[in-house]
Structures are given as structure tokens and as C-alpha cells.
């Protein structure tokens, strides 16, 4: 009888551990997508970056898209209120490929990459930019300036930028 009790207890403990292990919710990863490439000079990296951002959001991860260096220029609004991403059309074949894989019909409605960034923001991505770069290049007058930035873009100072990169679980650079 004692052997049966030990066997039953061992079985229950093992089953409990296995059940707890297999039913733990997957922890969301903090994903940082660092875009440094100018979309006007090389459109491949930024195009892949937004696809990877959307895919990570669909997988339930926390996503930040950080514009830095040459890519920061692409977010600057011109006198007409548009930036380079607003002027860059999302190719129909790319929209179809992304929708086929992610079943995200919102992608099919996108006209340009500015709308793609807005979709990412709407789905929960944090869109940020190196504020120090913006001041250094006279895009803005102060680190948190937003006179030339879309509303959904948050300007980061150096400590915020480095903290964001250092605290990411997954880092992509495009």
C-alpha cells in the first residue's frame, strides 16, 4: 500500500509539473528594430524591417521601431506634411505575400510605407527616433521636438535610446 501511495504521489507531482510547463503562457519578447538605412538609397532593409515588425506584433511580441542615422531623415516631414515613407508605395506583391503569411487584410489596404508605420503603431508598436540626431542635423530645435515628425513618432534622448537598445530581448538592424 505504501508503494502505491508513493507511486501515485510521484505520478501526480510529475503530471503537475508537466502540465505547468506546457501551459505557461509564452512571455512576450521586447523586440527592437533599428532602422539606419535610407529608404531612398536602399529600399530593401526598411521594407524588410516593417514586415518583421508586423510579424513580431502578430506573434504577440512588444515591438519598437527605432529610426536612426540616415533613416531618421526619411521620417522628417517636408513643407507638404509628408515624409519619404509617405511617398514610398508598398508594392502589391509584397502586400499579397505578407497577407498570405500573416492573414492580415489591413496590409492589403496600405498605399505607402507611411501608412504601414501607422498600422504598426495602431497595432501597438512604439515608433521612435534618435532625438539627438534630429537636433544635430537641424531637423528639430530640441531633443523632444515634433515640429517635423509624424504624431506617432516619439523622440528619444541618448539615455532613452541606449536603454531601449540595451533592454531589448531581440535586436534587428536594418
Q: What is the DSSP letter of 147?
A: S
pTM, two decimal places: 0.84
Q: What is the pLDDT of residues 9-25, one digit of tens each?
A: 454 555 555 555 545 56
Separation of alpha carbons 15 and 153, rounded Å:
48
Domain 28-173, architecture per CATH: 3-Layer(aba) Sandwich (3.40)
Confidence of residue 98 (pLDDT cuts 50, 70, 90): very high
Q: What is the pLDDT of residues 28-61, one digit of tens each?
A: 999 999 999 999 999 999 999 999 999 999 999 9
Q: Spell out the domain ranges in the chain.
A: 28-173
Amino acid at each position: 500500500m505504501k508503494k502505491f501511495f508513493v507511486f501515485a504521489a510521484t505520478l501526480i507531482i510529475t503530471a503537475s509539473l508537466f502540465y505547468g510547463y506546457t501551459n505557461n503562457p509564452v512571455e512576450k519578447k521586447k523586440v527592437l528594430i533599428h532602422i539606419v538605412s535610407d529608404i531612398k538609397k536602399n529600399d530593401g532593409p526598411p521594407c524588410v524591417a516593417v514586415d518583421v515588425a508586423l510579424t513580431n506584433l502578430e506573434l504577440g511580441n512588444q515591438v519598437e521601431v527605432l529610426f536612426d542615422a540616415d533613416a531618421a531623415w526619411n521620417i522628417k516631414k517636408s513643407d507638404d506634411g509628408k515624409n519619404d515613407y509617405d511617398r514610398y508605395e508598398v508594392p502589391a506583391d509584397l502586400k499579397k505575400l505578407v497577407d498570405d503569411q500573416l492573414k492580415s487584410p489591413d496590409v492589403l489596404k496600405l498605399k505607402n510605407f507611411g501608412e504601414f508605420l501607422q498600422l504598426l503603431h495602431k497595432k501597438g508598436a512604439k515608433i521612435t527616433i534618435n532625438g539627438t540626431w534630429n537636433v544635430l542635423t537641424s531637423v528639430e530645435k530640441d531633443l523632444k521636438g515634433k515640429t517635423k515628425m509624424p504624431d506617432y513618432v516619439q523622440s528619444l534622448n541618448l539615455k532613452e535610446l541606449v536603454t531601449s537598445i540595451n533592454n531589448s530581448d531581440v535586436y534587428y538592424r536594418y
